[in-house]
Amino acid sequence: MNAPAPAPSGAPCIPGAGEFHANNELALHVADPARAAEFYVQCCGGVVADRTPDRIEVVSGSLRLFLLRDAAPTHDRVVPSFDVPDRAAALERLRNAGCTFVPIGPHAPNDVYVRDPSGVIFDVVARTVAVAERLPCAVPEIPVSDVVVASEYYRVKLGFSVDWLAADIALAGISRGQCRLFLAGPTFREASGNASPASTWLNLDSIAEVDDLHSAWRSNDAILLSDPEAKPWGLHEFTAADPDGNRFRVFHDFATPTRGRAGTPAP
């Protein structure tokens, strides 16, 4: 597509012209995509999700790399991107904010990247996500026999922070990083009748993170039911528990691209 002409440098950004959302994707302009993919798979634990002669997609945890054949790029070799609902509107908004445009390269000869006023190169990708699909992280309710005792276990043994504790209603809110949990005692659960054990899955971004968390919890004398192990169904995982028998299945998914192939066992 033809890029709009650049606006004067320093022009104000126009609000409301489109939403920008991070997408955990990087375009890597390389001379040999196959050789680059071999490196990211063998040395960095990535998995090839899609492949053409000039473009290879490699996934590692939440990171997605697009290895693009470009022997002599005219811009940065590593290019991040944002998702937007309307690319043309986003480019116009960025032009009005003082951005300029540079050709992407051989695999998209008629398209452009964005150069911001500081000289940083990035892309905008048209990808509409319905509001109903943009859900926050779920917050499980974990049934416990004593919310005070349980809160202390999660704090000391599992490294959570106790954000608040309401002993009168037997409910506590705890968190660690992006993980949030509610610990609910018998008084709070009386109406619903839910009881332990409950199972919660914790999806980490790499095999190393799984191993490191297991090591940290072992050092804290947490209840560990298994050691980290790569399973035939494509998860590197271990299982931990709390004193009420609730289980945490901690895993890294290293084989989603092969999940649907015949003969792959289920977890």
Average pLDDT for runs of 10 along the chain of length 267: 49 54 90 93 85 89 88 91 90 93 88 94 82 72 95 96 94 92 94 84 90 95 95 93 96 70 51
Tell me, what's the pLDDT at 85? 87
Element (H, E) at 187: helix 186-189
Is 212 within a domain? yes
Report yes or no on 2 lying in a domain. Answer: no
Question: Hey, CA dihedral for 217, 221, 225, 227, is it positive or negative?
Answer: positive
pLDDT at residue number 96:
92
What is residue 45's predicted lDDT score, i.e. its pLDDT? 81
Give the residue from 100, 132, 164 where a domain finishes.
132
Q: Please say whether the beta carbons of 194 and 244 come within 8 A.
A: no
Strand partners, 141: 182
Are 148 and 181 part of one and the same domain? yes
We report the CATH number of the domain holding residue 73 as 3.10.180.10
> Domain check: are 99 and 152 in the same one?
no
Q: Which domain holds residue 193?
A: 141-258
Q: Is residue 86 part of a domain?
A: yes
Of 132, 154, 170, the last residue of a domain is 132
Gap between the Cα atoms of 117 and 97, Å rounded: 8
Domain count along the chain: 2
The pLDDT, as a whole number, for residue 237 is: 96
Does 63 fall in a domain?
A: yes
- Would you say residue 9 lies in a domain? no
pTM: 0.54
How far is it, in rounded angstroms, from Cα 256 to Cα 44?
A: 16
Decide: 214 and 229 in contact? Cβ < 8 Å: no
